[in-house]
């Protein structure tokens, strides 16, 4: 596993327009919690899920990565592991070069595909740790900081 740097994370988060792949309408889902948090921080979010209706694009909900506007070139992947490699291939096909695969969504095949195609890839990290964490995420951030396990 290659080392993820703080510089890579900062570069990813500097972009204020991010697509969340694996977005859910369930307000209690992890993806909904991430979306709410990033929305509160001022990010312009797009939501990708094949279950969305084709007419939802006006509310920034699309079915496929290919339907994202050209200016959206950062993906946050919150899919089931069985879908992650396909998502990475779609990102490559679209020309997207900045991908964060949320911990627990990565697979060795997806990581290799991303690395082989020159993607600025963040993985094995929780986005909450780097976006002004609150609540339990703030506690986890503190523990990681104390034990020196945050990227440098």
- Sorted by where each starts, the structural domains of the chain and their CATH numbers stand as 6-146 (3.40.50.720)
CB of 123 closer than 8 Å to CB of 4:
yes
- Which pLDDT does position 28 carry in this prediction? 86
User: Residue 143: CB partners within 8 Å, gap ≥ 6?
Assistant: none
The token pair at 82 is 């069985």
Let me know if 8 is exposed, middle or buried by CB neighbors in 10 A (0-12, 13-18, 19+): middle
- Report the distance separating Cα 75 and Cα 47, nearest Å: 10
Q: Tell me, what's the pLDDT at 109?
A: 97
Per-residue pLDDT, 138: 61
**Tens digit of pLDDT per residue, the chain (152 long)?**
568 889 999 999 999 899 999 988 888 888 888 999 999 999 999 999 998 887 776 789 999 999 999 999 999 999 999 999 999 999 999 999 999 999 889 999 999 999 999 999 999 888 887 876 666 666 565 666 666 667 77
């Amino acid at each position: 596993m290659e080392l993820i740097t703080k510089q890579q994370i900062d570069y990813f988060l500097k972009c204020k327009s991010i697509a969340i792949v694996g977005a859910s309408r369930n307000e209690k889902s992890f993806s909904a919690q991430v979306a709410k948090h990033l929305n509160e921080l001022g990010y312009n979010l797009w939501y990708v899920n094949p279950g969305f209706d084709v007419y939802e694009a006006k509310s920034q909900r699309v079915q496929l990565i290919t339907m994202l506007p050209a200016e959206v070139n950062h993906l946050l992947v919150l899919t089931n592991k069985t879908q992650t490699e396909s998502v990475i291939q779609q990102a490559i096909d679209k020309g997207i070069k900045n991908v964060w695969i949320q911990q627990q969504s990565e697979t060795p095949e997806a990581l290799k595909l991303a690395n082989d195609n020159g993607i600025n890839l963040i993985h094995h990290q929780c986005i909450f740790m780097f976006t002004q964490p609150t609540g339990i995420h703030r506690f986890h951030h503190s523990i990681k900081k104390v034990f020196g396990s945050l990227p440098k």
